[in-house]
Structure 1
């Protein structure tokens, strides 16, 4: 996310608590940011949510649960497949 912000805002050093709009972000940059997040990270982020999440930190926290749920779901499915092949004994 910070790299996308840095590219769009032409700011080489983006801190996780920097505010998108205070760094020069405007409505056009916001639309471009949403598009880049979709393209580069594969996540749809409604434009109105950007106004609630104006830092990399808050945006990442918002996207992280989606990523974790997806990953956890894959891990659980893999573990269930492994358990199907385990033979249990009564010993």
Structure 2
């Protein structure tokens, strides 16, 4: 849409013309209220309830831990396996006769 069309002001006489009143009907009055607006007390209550619910959920999930096992797991002893067999012991010299 063209900017000139978007920023064009509406025609004045139609906008400012009073509405004709019909007999038996109240005169139209624009709604100036803000529906759905919360006052300060309601907003503080909403924040407090939200904080309470979030805190309760956090506490619940912190308490729900897995139960420990009845016996601790047994870790086998570590053994070292060599890839080659141990070399034979060197021969011991015989002592000379007395």
TM-score normalised by structure 1 residue count: 0.31
TM-score normalised by structure 2 residue count: 0.29
Which structure carries more helix by proportion?
A: 1
Which structure is higher in RCO with an 8 Å CA cutoff and minimum separation 6?
A: 1
